[in-house]
Amino acid sequence: MKVILTQDVPNLGQAGEVEDVAAGYARNYLFREGLAVKATKGAIKEFKRRKAVDARREEKMAARAEALAERLRGVTLAFEAKAGETGHLYGSITPAAIAEALEREVGEKFDRRKHILSEPLREVGEHVVSVRLSADVVAEVKALVKPEGGELPEAKPTEAPEEAPQEKAEEQVSEEDQADE
């Protein structure tokens, strides 16, 4: 008996394939479990139509995810939290708080479990948070965590980088030329 698999069946085939199976197996297992339907001309035609509709929907979802990823690339989220002098937060910025801030910023719904791929932020500073928009589209968003009522701890002042030896030699030559004139 020919059947169209509606779901993947181990040791038999993938969803959408037409398989030839024993009549008893189809009747007693595949049909009852909703894993397959009888392969008639109408059923095959309907299954192909449904598959085409699903493919178009997937394309639209992928395009929408790409557009949203592009919008998210320029987003910087700002958070304030109580922090110690070392920059360690007393609490943390949770994925739920990140999802909430993204919703306010972008206007789209984000689920903290499905979309936010980050551990809670526990340090003051700039962090990169990954956001999953679809199975194969992941965007990165910057999150800036500041201590409550204060500024970011000042970075140690760095000295100006010393000039390259060649540049120093050129300066000395030009100074000598000026002295000679």
Q: Which CATH number characterizes residue 74's domain? A: 3.10.430.100
What is the number of structural domains in the chain? 2
Name the residue type at position 133. Answer: L
10 with 35, same domain: the answer is: yes
pLDDT in tens, 109-118: 888 888 888 8
Question: In the numeric block, which tokens belong to residue 104?
Answer: 């306010």
Of 118, 119, 108, 115, nearest to 133 by C-alpha is 115
58 with 101, same domain: the answer is: no
51 with 82, same domain: the answer is: no
136 with 78, same domain: the answer is: yes
pTM strictly above 0.85: no
Domain residues for 116?
Answer: 69-147
pLDDT in tens, 142-168: 999 999 876 655 443 334 344 444 554
Does 156 map to a domain?
Answer: no
121 with 80, same domain: the answer is: yes
Does 78 map to a domain?
Answer: yes
Place of tokens 């919703």: 103
